[in-house]
Amino acid sequence: MDYTGLIQMLLEDMESPAPFGAKRILTFVNPRHYESFQHTLQELKALHPEWPDLPSSHLLKTVMTPLSGSGKYLDPYKNDILIEEDSLVKVHMLTNKANQGPGIPYGVKQIQAPKAWSISTGYRIKIGVIDTGADFYHPDLRQSLAKGINLLNRHMLPFDDNGHGTHIAGTIAAANGTEGMIGVAPRATIYPVKAFDHNGSAYVSDIIQGIDWCIRNKMNLINMSFGMKTRSKALLDIVTKAYVSGISIIASSGNEGKRRNIDYPAKYPQTISIGATDRNRRIASFSNRGEFIDIYAPGDKIISSWTHGKYHEMSGTSMATSHVSGAIALLLAQNPDLQPAEIKALLQQTATPLKNKKGQRRSSEGLEVNALKLLKEGMKKKPPKP
């Protein structure tokens, strides 16, 4: 393969502007071709330090290039490189209004998290939150945030310029009970992975780089409160790599109120897919539902942290997802060896059946996470000490 020729064509293509940051995702069929490509690129960059970086996922053997021009120059390589065009991804949020610090929010209480804190607070569990970033100065998050990464500007901390990522982080791990709020797992550590811009938009190529970072930096679980309608093979491949490496991916199902379908990546069986409930333990009107949902959690009118040290009330399956991520963090702090399939099974075995329209509890309606039961049952699976 003519690596030098391919690199020069890719760089020439980068000079013509791409629409809105969309990219082509180029996956090398043969891993050795990818290694040779990267080796040639580094040699050429040593001679031309002004050349721009080509984002890549070493785990997938993938390079991302701006989606500009026709891409005809890639035709000679079509047997050696799989080409996928980027798809737009949006965070899953609906209503949004300012509020006061809630202490322990109703959702945290509804899933029985405070009753679990005498056993576990999620200590040292690493949670990758692929989102809009986080407010590093928020008094409720100061103890809960690690450096993470900003995929949109790698020279900056992943500061949140939207609010969604800060809201998710608060529900998972806020730790300021005296004046602000407490999340589900207040001693877990959140690694913000900023892939989404100020509008709450990202591309599949950004998500792939985010999951790649989470795997290489040994996260215990990944919160993905976003979705899209289109299926992406490259996204499925990196989700599978996370799953095989023992990382649970908690993914929101979407807010269209659909009965028979949910968004990707939650639709992939390697994730734990989340629907939303309200204060009455009924499925929230906006939540997607049905056979593709693994578990439900509170997602209606959830108050959590927001940018500039504030608090906002929001609704969405995004909010439900952060409750489940926190519950899993409580469990993993006590039994870190549990695999994603075991965690999914435990979530469902220990969940609270939802109420139907008549107020009767029926597991056929769906199941809501119960953090206390999950923790107690999961600790029974701990291997005995030698």
Give me the catalytic one of 164, 167, 312, 323: 164
Which pLDDT value is given to residue 382? 78
Catalytic-residue membership of 164: yes
pLDDT digits (tens, 9 = 90+) for 49-77: 888 888 899 999 999 887 666 677 788 88
Per the annotation, the verdict on 318 as an active-site residue is yes
Q: Return the closest-CA partner of residue 187 out of 330, 304, 347, 298.
A: 330
Q: What is the DSSP string of 301-325?
A: SEEEE-GGG-EEEE-SHHHHHHHHH
Calculate the CA 358 to chain-centre distance. Answer: 35
**pLDDT tens for the 386 residues of the chain, in order:** 888 988 888 887 776 655 556 788 999 999 999 999 999 999 998 998 888 888 899 999 999 887 666 677 788 888 999 989 888 899 988 867 888 877 999 999 999 999 999 999 999 999 999 999 999 999 999 999 999 999 999 999 999 999 999 999 999 999 987 788 999 999 999 999 999 999 999 999 999 999 999 999 999 999 999 999 999 999 999 999 999 999 999 999 999 999 999 999 999 999 999 999 999 999 999 999 999 999 999 999 999 999 999 999 999 999 999 999 999 999 999 999 999 999 999 999 999 999 776 666 666 679 999 999 999 999 988 777 77
Catalytic residue among 304, 305, 318, 322: 318
* The Cα angle at residue 248 between residues 242 and 250, in degrees rounded to 5: 115
Residue pLDDT, tens place only, 330-339: 999 999 999 9
Considering 13, 131, 206, 278, which one is annotated as catalytic?
A: 131
